[in-house]
Amino acid sequence: MTLEKQIAKIFKLDGESWMKHTNPWSIWTRFATLPFIILAVWSRIWIGWYCLIPIAILIIWIIINPTLFKKPKSIENWGAKAVLGERYWAERKTVSVPKHHSTPILILTILQTVGGIILMIGLWKLEINLTIIGAIMAYMSKMWFLDRMVWIFREMKTNTQQHK
């Protein structure tokens, strides 16, 4: 089982819930959560251990968000195609995804991870520069990653239609 498939299980992404997650409200409200997480962690200097309350709420939000919204009427938008591309990528052990995506996705995953680590160090040390650099790096590489998922979705959709 791929790491992405395991992560999908945590977020209860299977079958119909993938389609619910293609709802733009699901995609963009979840995507917009990072600044609130940063603020919640940073708030420890103002509210001490009470910062764990907004942090816990935000973690719960991230976990339940993909299943909260209704299946959209249309998937003809960038975000929905990115989610469906992620689904193909997560299930690549059972449905083959073109190999030319592997290296760019690995690089983007590494960049997201490095950005996340820099962000966490910045939050731990309360270093605003590291926090901002890490957040920007994580967000930019995530957007590029999602754009690659759109590419995968389009290729897989075309390949599926050609084999019918």
pLDDT confidence band for 3 (50 / 70 / 90): low
10-56 residue pLDDT tens: 656 566 777 788 888 989 999 999 999 999 999 999 999 999 999 99
Average pLDDT on 149-160 reads 88
Q: How far apart are CA 31 and CA 37, in angstroms?
A: 11
Q: How far apart are CA 83 and CA 24, in angstroms?
A: 10
Say how many domains are in the chain: 1
Which residue would you say has higher pLDDT here, 26 or 8? 26
For the chain, the average pLDDT equals 89
Tokens of 88: 């193909």
pLDDT confidence band for 157 (50 / 70 / 90): confident
CB atoms within 10 A of CB 14: 12
- Least confident piece of the model among 38-42, 88-92, 123-127, 135-139: 88-92
Tokens of 32: 């917009």
> What percent of the chain lies above the pLDDT cut of 70?
88
Structural domain including 118 reads 3-162
